[in-house]
Amino acid sequence: MARLCALGEPLDEGRHAFPTPQRIAAMPPDELAAHSRAGYRAAYLHELAQRISSGEDVEAWRGLPADELYHRVRSLKGFGDYAAGTMLRLLGHFDRLAIDTECRAAFRRIHGRPAENDREISAYYAPFGRWRGLLMWMDVIEG
């Protein structure tokens, strides 16, 4: 993250703001990848920055219902189920589970055994209703 932020405007004491979409879009993708060390994800970041720089108003997505917002985020290259679920949580929607290897590892850590399947993980978080995704996220980042 620090390498990417170094592309932004200087603040103070050697710190920089996150670069604008226009700054990222103006860089050749291979240069962005080399500078940020984001690997293949640099191409996804570059594409998103180009879309925003070209006028796509992703900020307007904030007002969408959770299911529609999820599908919009999933339509972005590089956003799988887990990344889209995380983005929804960052935008205040906490009901979606995004079960991946980290979530499975958290379940194993909590219960001392792996889940039989993803349905078992879903059932574990079901009692938490609209907060189930937030609780799952807290379990994942605790580990």
CA distances in angstroms from 102 to 56, 72, 82, 106, listed in the order given: 32, 24, 10, 6
pLDDT at 1: 73
Task: Assess if residue 96 is contained within a domain.
Answer: no
Tell how many helices (H) and how many strands (E) occur in the chain.
Answer: 9, 0
Which structural domain, as residue segments, surrounds residue 39?
A: 1-56
Domain end among 20, 35, 56: 56
Task: Assess if residue 114 is contained within a domain.
Answer: yes
pLDDT at 81: 86
Task: Assess if residue 138 is contained within a domain.
Answer: yes
Each residue's pLDDT expressed in tens, for the chain with a length of 143 residues: 788 888 889 998 889 999 999 999 999 999 999 999 988 889 999 999 999 999 999 889 888 999 999 999 999 998 888 889 888 988 889 999 889 899 999 999 999 999 999 999 999 999 999 999 999 999 999 87
pLDDT at 86: 86
CA distances in angstroms from 68 to 80, 85, 87, 100, 129, listed in the order given: 15, 12, 13, 21, 19
Task: Assess if residue 107 is contained within a domain.
Answer: yes
Task: Assess if residue 93 is contained within a domain.
Answer: no
Domain end among 56, 72, 93: 56
pTM over 0.85: no
Number of domains present in the structure of the chain: 2
pLDDT at 98: 84
The token duo for 13 is: 């004491």
User: Among residues 39, 37, 11, 5, which one has the least CA distance to residue 24?
Assistant: 5
